[in-house]
Amino acid sequence: MAEDPLYPEGNLNPLDSAGKPLKGWLRDILETVLPALIIVFVINMFLAQATRVEGQSMEPNLYNDQRLIIEKVSYRFHKPRRGDIVVLKLPNRPGPPLIKRVVGLPGEQVEIRQGHVYINGQLLDEHYVDQLTFSSHAAEVVPDDSAFVLGDNRSFSSDSRSFGMVRLEYIIGRAWFRYWPPGNIGFVK
């Protein structure tokens, strides 16, 4: 190794010693932060994400400002099921995603009459609501690529009664776990 004429006898250039820790620090940051960001991105895009309940349309089961984890995996293997609480984003509706319950499935006839929901002419058992549905909805068949969704608090919910069937591609995922406030931690039912 050639001797540096400005720094004979193995003395290090102070710029080199100062530059190495800086380069090492930047390298450490990139090796730690970049993979962490990639992992967070992948999880958020494909597996799960956090969301917040906005409004009272899902009371008495979910309340304003509760925080939820949405799982995105199961709907890659099967379509939503009746009773699932889903998070959806309608393309023509600005603002945060909506949280609703799947009531009508593809190919089923949905009707609301005298305060009750009927699926294929049969009264739907809705143990999760504590009030009648104070509107009517003429019998309508859910298209193969869609679902009929309702809020649990029917008096204060904008749902398929107002914006129509929801295409399955607009469903982000299933509300899975409630993590805030701490007194309400648990799985969403």
Catalytic residue among 100, 146, 157, 160: 100
What is the C-alpha to C-alpha distance for residues 50 and 53, in angstroms, rounded to an integer?
Answer: 10
Please say whether the beta carbons of 48 and 176 come within 8 A.
yes
**Residue 167 has which token pair?**
């295409």
Catalytic residue among 17, 20, 57, 136: 57
The three-class DSSP label of residue 88 is strand
Q: Is 100 a catalytic residue?
A: yes
Residue type, 140: E
Residue 46 class from Cβ within 10 Å (0-12 exposed, 13-18 middle, 19+ buried)?
exposed
Catalytic center residues: 57, 100
